[in-house]
Amino acid sequence: MFTKVCAALAVLVVSTAGTVAHAQSYRLNQPLADDPDTILQEVAITPERTTVTIVLRNSSKRDTIEACAHPSHKPEAFMLKDLDSGKVWKQEGSTGLVSCENGMDEIRPGKRKTLKVQFPSLPATARRLQIGENNCQQKPDDDMDYWCFSEVVLNQKK
């Protein structure tokens, strides 16, 4: 009995160590190419999920801007793509902005909002990502701007 318990504990310790090693947080502070007020702040990967944090600033002195988050079941929702393997993960949820189905959030001059988008956990091998709404495609007859961070590099921590 003692041998079986020790073997089970050894397996538990090894599998837990592998899981903990996979938890990583990458502080990026990468603005959108065409909008310096929309910033990919962080990608945090745990064994349970990947959370992408996007900060939306309004650096305008007088104009209020509007923003919303597409619900997970919509094709316009965020997708995360591993550029090396081609694997794509769909958004599981988001917090921080009103759902586009319910209207728009207003961001007043000098203020900011933080959007957190959840995805399934990424594999430890993921290094180059694309993170964007509507599969990083603009719709020709739509006045909505879809956010796309087309080249996100997760650098190895030393």
Q: End-to-end CA distance of the chain: give it in Å, rounded.
A: 42
User: Residue with structure tokens 């923003």?
Assistant: 67
Q: pLDDT (tens digit, 0 to 9) for every residue of the chain, 158 residues total? A: 444 433 333 333 333 333 334 689 999 999 999 999 999 999 999 999 999 999 999 999 999 999 999 999 999 999 999 999 999 999 999 999 999 999 999 999 999 999 999 999 999 899 999 999 999 998 888 888 899 999 999 986 54
Question: What pLDDT is stored for residue 144 in this prediction?
Answer: 82
| Backbone phi, psi, residue 72, to 5° | -55, -30
Contact yes or no for 144/89 (Cβ under 8 A): no
Structure tokens at 124: 């430890």
Q: Check residue 10 and give its pLDDT.
A: 37
Question: Any alpha helices (H) in the chain, and if so which ranges?
Answer: 2-22
Cα 131–Cα 135–Cα 139 angle in degrees, nearest 5: 125
**Model pLDDT, residue 145:** 86
What's the pTM value of the predicted model, to 2 decimals?
Answer: 0.83
Domains with residue ranges and CATH for the chain: 23-153 (2.60.40)
Cα(7)–Cα(139) distance, rounded to whole angstroms? 56
Strands of the sheet containing 49-57, edge to edge, are 24-32, 35-45, 49-57, 112-120, 93-95
